[in-house]
Amino acid sequence: MPFTKFRNLFGSRVARLVDYRLEERTRGVLQDFETRIDELEHCTTDHRRRLAETDEKLESALGDLRWIRGELDRMIPHVAAQEEQLETLREKLAMTPRANDAEALEARSLVEEIQRQHAQVRVRLAGMARYEERLSRLEDAKFTPAQ
């Protein structure tokens, strides 16, 4: 029996020594794991915050994109009409015969002469309108009974 006590006592001491050694070695590893887990939790929290900010910015950008798309859809028919008008003008210019410098000078001088004569006609018509207005006032004054 004394041997059993000795064996139990020695066994428990050896077990405690082994447990202590294992605990000492695993304690450092566990602390490293705990430190790493804490670091990963902080990173995860930061990533969640940044993801939420990115989602908000993306929603804002999508709203802007929808508005731009609406404006673009609204403007496309106007641009198409302008392009059609430009093409019509190009066709008209293409059908116009090319003139040399002498013909262009002659055409320019004819246009200037027409503009000059047009201005003279306007002056004469304005004078005639004033003359008719005076006549009408004189006629009104002549045929209106004096009071």
Apex 92 CA angle, 87 and 95, nearest 5? 125
Instruction: Give the chain's length.
Output: 147
Residues 37-47 have pLDDT tens digits of 999 999 999 99
Q: Chain-wide mean pLDDT for the chain?
A: 83
Q: At 51, is the secondary structure helix, strand, or coil?
A: helix
pTM: 0.40
Task: List phi, psi (to 5°) of 73.
Answer: -60, -35
Per-residue pLDDT for 147 more than 60? no
Q: Which two tokens stand for residue 46?
A: 């930061």
Nearest-angstrom CA–CA distance, 30 and 27: 5
